[in-house]
Amino acid sequence: MEEITSAAVTHVPRMSRPSRALVAGVALGAAALGLAACGPAGAGVAYVTSPAVSAPSPSASAVAGGRYTSIVAMSGLQVSPPTASATSEHLGLTWAQAATVFAATSAVQGSHAQAILGYGLVTLSGSTLPSGTSPLDRRGAWVGITWGGTTSCPAATVPPRGSSSSRASYRQIFTAVVIYGQGGDGTIVYTSRGTPSCGGPQTGPTVTAAREVLSVPWKQTTPLHNGSVRVTYRAPSCATLFSTASSGNMGVGKYTLTVEVTVPFDHASCPTTTHTTNIRLFPSPAPPSAPAVPSHPTLGHGPTGPVSVLQTGRIAGGP
């Protein structure tokens, strides 16, 4: 995974990330009866709301001035314009702050052709909500939506672009980040029903609790050995390691290291614990053309806090 960018400069990219956060949802037969399903404590709870009306799919023209200006729908999720007078802050978040939450959600990691964000009224029907999530029936929320992800697929798995078979069967998948809790503490990810990027039967819709990508402080615990160092980092017990990265100059021996984790947005109840991982500074053995590496390189911290993992030209809908 490592690459030498010049004879003196090395860059070790982030370890492989999931192309899209795994999400799971259960379709309920009870929905057909108009009943809410019950389950054991800790299980998700299904809420059946009034069916969404027919509405266009998400588009950049549906948001302006920090709010939804027209109704959009994707499978069982519908977003309507808010009825209250326009304000610059909702749920304790400005549009820019909500954009930070949206872009740091692990489920939107990767390159996307389109991304929009605005405040609106959310209705979700026919899906099981994560445990602790209140019903979403015209509930005010910041909603960020991405689509048009870039994926590398084996050529044999995808019908030729523009062919009758691809036009007839293809259905765009939308990923929506619904921020309904104060300060972003309540956030879910909704993935609409559609055709996977590399073709195949349609999947979804699915709903899961959202997870935030954070860069956390670390502390070196072992000397450089075979191109790597061992570090400890403090993070909530509910954190999962997302990636590690290093960049620097082999000849000078200066490197910047980062450790990134994912955590639930409402992770305040998770106690902080100590974790350990290795970070590779350069390939081992180093290529013959590489300069001699100092035995005690200087290691610095990368920025800490929320990490934007959404790659897009811009997020439409800002004030």
Domain locations along the chain: 3-16+213-306, 29-210
Q: Is the pLDDT of residue 19 over 50?
A: no
How confident is the model at residue 282, as a pLDDT? 81
Higher pLDDT, 83 or 229: 229
Q: Is the pLDDT of residue 63 over 70?
A: yes
Looking at 2-16, 26-40, 53-67, 75-89, which range is the least confident one? 26-40
Q: Is the pLDDT of residue 36 over 60?
A: no
Q: Is the pLDDT of residue 126 over 50?
A: yes
Q: Is the pLDDT of residue 279 over 80?
A: yes
Backbone angles phi, psi at 276, to 5 degrees: -130, 140
How confident is the model at residue 28, as a pLDDT? 30
Q: Within 10 Å of residue 219's Cβ, how many Cβ atoms?
A: 10
How confident is the model at residue 56, as a pLDDT? 87
Q: Is the pLDDT of residue 209 over 80?
A: yes
How confident is the model at residue 38, as a pLDDT? 31
How confident is the model at residue 199, as a pLDDT? 78
How confident is the model at residue 67, as a pLDDT? 95
Q: Which long-range contacts (CB under 8 A, 24 or more apart) does 297-300 make?
A: 297/224, 297/248, 297/253, 297/254, 297/255, 298/253, 298/254, 298/255, 299/220, 299/229, 299/255, 299/256, 299/257, 300/254, 300/255, 300/256, 300/257
d(CA 107, CA 284): 33
Radius of gyration of the chain (CA): 22
> pLDDT tens, 237-270?
999 999 999 988 777 888 999 999 999 998 988 9
> pLDDT tens, 151-198?
667 654 445 555 444 555 788 899 999 999 999 889 999 999 888 878
How confident is the model at residue 160, as a pLDDT? 52
In the chain, % of residues over pLDDT 70 = 75
Report how far apart, in Å, the C-alpha atoms of 121 and of each of 51, 94, 130, 143, 215 are. Answer: 14, 16, 19, 9, 32
Query: Which amino acid is located at 39 in the chain?
Result: G
Higher pLDDT, 127 or 146: 146
d(CA 21, CA 38): 26
Q: Is the pLDDT of residue 12 over 50?
A: no
3-state SS class at 168: helix
How confident is the model at residue 204, as a pLDDT? 79
Q: What is the mean pLDDT of residues 290-305?
A: 83
Average pLDDT, the chain: 79
**CA proximity to 317, closest of 127, 151, 74, 72:** 72
Higher pLDDT, 151 or 149: 149
